[in-house]
């Protein structure tokens, strides 16, 4: 017995493509008949997709902002400060500061170090004419500018004679210059004198803008030769911080371990004694902050995703109401030859169309909200196609999951009972 593959399909047969197109048309017509009810039904999906996509987008922007800020400070920088795990929390003896000899030792004995800069910082009030501003005074050298990749836009850096003699000359950050000189050009400030605490200082340069840092405004600073700060402010040669620039060709972790071993030896820390100093890696700080941002974003997004489930319950509820309202219509379709899977597909497609419409509306609202909030929060706007695609797909799955039970209930109706329904 042979079969003719080119024989026409049996009477009543409908192709899958035509069936899906017809079902989609019926679903759209059913939605249009009750526009207000349909809108209220998808509102939960809209809010859920909007909240999730907006939170994730802002989280990505915050993460990028952290990386950009750390990169502006130098991703290959290591910072040494006195104090370790054992000395935190107070109540004990203050950790010993560093010495100028420690800087020389790090520069000459640690492989992979391309720059070392000691720093001393303190808070002062800068005064010029009738303007005053509380800022941070940093005692440093030209090595500090090289290590931090911080340029001077107007004027000059310190001369070797000024550094050696500890002259009271200074470089102003953009924020300090704007506050004291009321937004005048940097060239107007060059050569002028201002008061830092109890000492006078001549402005010889204006630093390039670096923007907001992780903890504070990086431009809110005044730089002065470290010997001048030690002699005129702190009254000693103690160093409270050492910044080390590492060669990118070397592993920063190895350099960090080498510096720690050298400082343990120089500070007579042997055996199981805990370090009384800490070495920070800017890259590790960026990774840690990014991890914290990612966790917070995930938590907020998970809370926002609950509204998606609420929206799915709303779709199930309204679809059950729709099945009850259209019982006679279902009975007529079944009586004239429609099979159960066609009825089930009709209601399932209607639920999916509703959820997908809600998903699209949520994505559009999230796009505009993310752009506006990114500007308001001063973080970059990072568009992630994958996040948007996953949110839309998930909204469609919500329609499938929560629309299945009403669709199955419609398909299981008895045609005779359905026709009798009033």
Q: How far apart are CA 73 and CA 303, in angstroms?
A: 35
Beta-bridge mates of residue 199:
196
Residue 157: the pLDDT is: 92
Say if residue 217's pLDDT is above 80: no
Who wins on pLDDT, 161 or 234?
A: 161
Q: How far apart are CA 395 and CA 392, in angstroms?
A: 5
Say if residue 159's pLDDT is above 90: yes
Quote the tokens at residue 206. Answer: 């204006």
Give mean pLDDT, residues 192-219: 82
Do 358 and 311 touch, CB atoms closer than 8 A?
Answer: yes
How high does pLDDT run on average in the chain?
A: 81
Q: Which residues contact 75 (CB under 8 A, 6 or more apart)?
A: 282, 283, 286
Helix, strand, coil tally for the chain in percent (to 5): 60, 15, 25
Give mean pLDDT, residues 88-109: 78
Say if residue 71's pLDDT is above 80: no
Tell me how crowded residue 216 is: count the other CB atoms within 10 A of its CB: 11
Q: What is the pLDDT of residues 325-359, one digit of tens each?
A: 777 877 887 778 777 777 788 888 888 888 888 99
Q: Does the predicted TM-score (pTM) go above 0.85?
A: no
Do 189 and 203 touch, CB atoms closer than 8 A?
Answer: yes
Query: Quick one: pLDDT band at residue 13, thresholds 50, 70, 90?
Result: very low
Beta-bridge mates of residue 196:
126, 199
Most confident of 67-71, 152-156, 326-330, 340-344: 152-156
Query: Quick one: pLDDT band at residue 226, thresholds 50, 70, 90?
Result: very high
Give mean pLDDT, residues 373-377: 89
Do 224 and 169 touch, CB atoms closer than 8 A?
Answer: yes
Distances (CA, A) of 99 to 102, 120, 258: 5, 12, 18
Residue 216 is classified by DSSP as: S
Who wins on pLDDT, 306 or 118?
A: 118
Residue 6: the pLDDT is: 45
Residue 166 is classified by DSSP as: T
Tell me how crowded residue 418 is: count the other CB atoms within 10 A of its CB: 20
Give mean pLDDT, residues 293-309: 78
- Note the residue count of the chain: 422
Reduced to 3 states (helix: H, G, I; strand: E, B; else coil), residue 220 is coil
Q: What is the pLDDT of residues 267-286, one digit of tens each?
A: 888 877 888 888 888 777 66
Who wins on pLDDT, 325 or 192?
A: 192
């Amino acid at each position: 017995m042979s079969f003719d593959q080119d024989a026409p399909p049996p009477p009543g047969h409908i192709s899958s493509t035509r069936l899906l197109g017809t079902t989609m048309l019926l679903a759209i017509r059913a939605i249009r008949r009750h526009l207000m009810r349909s809108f209220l039904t998808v509102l939960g999906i809209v809010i859920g997709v909007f909240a999730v996509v907006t939170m994730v987008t802002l989280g990505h922007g915050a993460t990028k902002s952290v990386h950009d800020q750390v990169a502006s400070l130098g991703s290959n920088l290591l910072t040494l400060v006195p104090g370790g795990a054992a000395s935190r929390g107070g109540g004990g003896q203050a950790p010993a500061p560093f010495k100028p000899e420690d800087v020389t030792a790090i520069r000459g004995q640690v492989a992979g170090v391309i720059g070392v800069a000691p720093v001393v910082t303190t808070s002062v009030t800068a005064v010029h004419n009738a303007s005053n501003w509380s800022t941070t005074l940093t005692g440093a050298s030209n090595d500090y500018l090289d290590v931090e990749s911080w340029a001077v836009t107007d004027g000059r850096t310190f001369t070797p004679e000024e550094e050696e003699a500890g002259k009271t000359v200074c470089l102003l950050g953009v924020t300090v210059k704007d506050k004291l000189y009321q937004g005048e050009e940097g060239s107007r400030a060059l050569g002028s004198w201002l008061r830092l605490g109890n000492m006078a200082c001549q402005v010889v340069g204006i630093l390039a803008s670096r923007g907001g840092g992780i903890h504070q405004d990086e431009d809110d600073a005044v730089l002065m030769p470290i010997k001048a700060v030690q002699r005129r402010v702190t009254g000693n040669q103690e160093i409270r911080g050492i910044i080390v620039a590492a060669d990118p060709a070397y592993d920063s972790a190895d350099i960090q371990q080498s510096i720690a071993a050298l400082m343990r030896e120089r500070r007579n820390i042997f055996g199981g004694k805990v370090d009384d100093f800490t070495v920070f890696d800017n890259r590790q700080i960026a990774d840690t902050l990014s991890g914290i941002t990612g966790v917070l974003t995930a938590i907020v997004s998970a809370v926002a995703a609950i509204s998606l489930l609420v929206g799915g319950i709303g779709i199930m509820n309204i679809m059950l109401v729709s099945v009850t309202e259209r019982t006679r219509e279902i009975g007529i379709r079944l009586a004239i030859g429609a099979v159960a899977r066609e009825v089930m597909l009709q209601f399932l497609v209607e639920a999916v169309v509703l959820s997908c419409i809600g998903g699209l509306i949520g994505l559009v609202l999230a796009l505009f909200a993310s752009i506006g909030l990114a500007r308001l929060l001063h973080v970059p706007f990072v568009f992630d196609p994958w996040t948007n695609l996953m949110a839309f797909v998930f909204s469609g799955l919500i329609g499938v999951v929560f629309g299945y039970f009403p669709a199955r209930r419609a398909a299981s109706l008895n045609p005779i009972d359905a026709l009798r329904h009033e």
